[in-house]
């Protein structure tokens, strides 16, 4: 590697950080909906979910800026906005750009939920699976660390957790809050 590797290292670290935060955000959303832990308050989980998503978008932005500033791979600012313009692994990079843009739209929808209507907002939120899938493929095929055992384990673990949490959501009914004896007309 010629020159200063700072931006290349920052690009790699921020890309992996964005992927971990995206995975955790997906998992928090699934926990919120499926409620596997009865003691978790929905408002707290929602706030955590949104914070993870915001952190992921920040890490994605840092990833893009670092790639533009790096001299190892030539990425233009326009290639960060328009999928397919990068000469570096164009399909893989296009998937990363599309995933980032769709993630930003989904994040923005939090604030527009009432305007969009709950059903439309929920349909848009289902695209989170597409973001996760595209980000996974992007990391595995464009990421220079993807062949390392620790990185493979990270991706396999992320996929396994999301598949498990999705199956849990689909197959296990949500926990119902227990009603107090007073609310049921009994005595405490």
In terms of average pLDDT, the best of 23-27, 35-39, 110-114, 175-179 is 23-27
CA 22-28-33 angle, 5° bins: 130
Dihedral, CA of residue 113, residue 118, residue 119 and residue 125, to nearest 10: 50
Specify whether the CB–CB gap between 175 and 33 falls below 8 A. Answer: no
Question: Which pLDDT band, with edges at 50, 70 and 90, does 43 fall under?
Answer: confident
Helix intervals (H) in the chain? 6-34, 42-69, 77-81, 90-109, 113-116, 118-126, 128-142, 149-171
Rounded alpha-carbon distances, angstroms, from residue 26 to 19, 59, 163, 164:
11, 16, 11, 12
pLDDT greater than 60 at residue 129: yes
Alpha carbons 71 and 2: distance in angstroms, whole number: 9
Per-residue model confidence as pLDDT tens digits over 70-99: 988 889 999 999 999 999 999 999 999 999
Joined together, the tokens standing for residue 149 give 């055992």
According to the model, what pLDDT value does residue 135 have? 98
Question: Mind giving me the DSSP string for 145-167?
Answer: TTTSHHHHHHHHHHHHHHHHHHH
According to the model, what pLDDT value does residue 117 have? 93
pTM of structure: 0.88
Rounded alpha-carbon distances, angstroms, from residue 116 to 47, 113, 166:
20, 5, 25
Helices 42-69 and 6-34 cross at an angle (nearest 10°) of: 160
Average pLDDT over every residue of 114-118: 92
**Residue showing tokens 């955790």:** 24
């Amino acid at each position: 590697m010629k020159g200063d590797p700072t931006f290349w290292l920052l690009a790699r670290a921020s890309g992996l950080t964005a992927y971990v935060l995206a995975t955790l955000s997906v998992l928090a959303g699934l926990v919120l909906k499926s409620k596997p832990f009865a003691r978790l308050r929905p408002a707290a989980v929602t706030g955590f979910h949104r914070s993870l998503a915001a952190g992921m978008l920040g890490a994605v932005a840092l990833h893009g800026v670092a790639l533009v500033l790096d001299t190892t791979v030539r990425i233009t600012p326009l290639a960060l906005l328009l999928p397919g313009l990068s000469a570096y692994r164009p399909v893989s990079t296009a998937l990363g750009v599309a995933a980032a843009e769709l993630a930003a739209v989904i994040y923005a929808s939090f604030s527009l939920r009432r305007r969009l209507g709950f059903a439309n907002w929920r349909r848009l939120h289902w695209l989170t699976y597409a973001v996760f899938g595209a980000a996974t493929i992007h990391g595995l095929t464009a990421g220079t660390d993807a062949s390392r055992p620790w990185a493979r384990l990270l991706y396999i673990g992320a996929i396994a957790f999301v598949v498990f949490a999705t199956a849990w959501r689909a197959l296990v009914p949500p926990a119902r809050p227990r009603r107090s004896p007073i609310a049921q007309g009994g005595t405490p």
